[in-house]
Chain A
Amino acid sequence: MVLTAVLSIIFYAFTLTVTFVAAVGIITASIYLYYR
């Protein structure tokens, strides 16, 4: 997710928003919680 977001910023002028960063954080945490 992070790598794709970074490359999207570089190649496709993707605008990083606060909600996007929050969503990535929340989803990463939930995946950790699910599989731990």
Chain B
Amino acid sequence: MKYSDTLLGEMKDKQDYQPVDSSTMQTFSVAQADTVQKSAPAVPAVLYFTMICLAIGVKCWQPLAIAGAKNSDGSFSFNKTTMVLLVEFVKLLFCCCVFLIQYLTSATAQRSALTDLTFRQSLHYLVPAVLYAASNTLVYYGMSYINPALFHVLGNIRIITAGVLYRLMMGKKQTDVQWVALLILTFGAAIVTPDMEEVDSGSNANPMWGLFFIILMCICSTSSSIYTEKYFKKSQDVSIFYQNCILYAYGIVVNAIYLLLTDSKGLVEQGFFEGYDSRALMVLTAQSTMGIILSFVFKVSDT
């Protein structure tokens, strides 16, 4: 048994083990899953604090940037799928650069282990790639109906979905206090929903759709996290950045297929970058930065 397995076992025994993505957004990645398995590397407190502050700032900025790019009728000037695709592409580029540095600075004997993944094994990444693609697209659908503040509050529903899905799919037992906490959280989310009607009464459609899309987004992102945790333990010697590269590459493929199936005509007539302006660029920056920073935060922190 490897050390990481032992550590995981110990964490489970102590019931300290929690779903990693429970309090985060939709960008849970393989890098984050890795933190579940390995002890956190030592990072200077100042650097760690700076990273946490940056993560909070970017997480706060993300829904604000999306809201800023919204038209008065709740639509976006850009195609949502092309935005998700571009975000995945930026993250892929970044991960490729980091992996290259890691590869070149590793000892020659260790290099083969960093990429020790067959094509068949890599196909496992298709599942989280599909789920993340759905989750990342649903963010825009949800944000079409509600404002950033409510989006953040309702985003905590993922803690409920994580708690329930981890129990059902992984057999993880929650304590009575934790079930009570989840009930209280449900109550908290429930009492804020009437606000959606008041705040977004100017919108043409029913804002409750926003709640529906957010719940769906939470289920997708949590399911993806569970799958990642369940199946990627096997490849724990492989570089986490390499795994992320594969995940993002599959994400691009999945989104490209979805784009071709749903809007190939618009793509041909208007082009890929139709509707991209400074507001769209802001969204792209916010989404990409969030994914990158969160993966680093989870890389250096424990659960």
Contacts and interface: CB of A to CB of B under 8 A. Distances in A.
Contact of B177 (A7, A19, A25, A33): A33
Interface string B137-162: 00000000001111111001001000
Given A33-B180, A34-B182, A3 B60 contact: yes
A7 to B, nearest CB: 6
Contacts of A24: 153, 188
Interface residues of A, number: 25
A30 to B, nearest CB: 4
Contacts of A1: 149, 152-153, 156
B97 interface: no
Interface in A1-36: 1, 3-5, 7-8, 11-12, 14-15, 17, 19-20, 22-27, 29-31, 33-35
Nearest to B190: A23
Given A7-B64, A20-B195, A27-B189, A12 B18 contact: no
B184 A3 contact: no
B185 interface: yes
A34 B147 contact: no
A23 B189 contact: yes
A19 B185 contact: no
Interface string B182-216: 10110111011011001100000000000000000
Most B CB atoms within 10 A — which of A20, A23, A31? A23
Contacts of B64: 4, 7-8, 11-12
Interface of B: 18, 22-23, 56, 60, 63-64, 67-68, 147-153, 156, 159, 163, 177-178, 180-182, 184-185, 187-189, 191-192, 194-195, 198-199
Given A8-B149, A35-B23, 13 more contacts: A1-B153, A1-B156, A4-B63, A4-B149, A12-B67, A12-B147, A20-B149, A20-B192, A23-B153, A24-B188, A27-B156, A27-B185, A27-B189
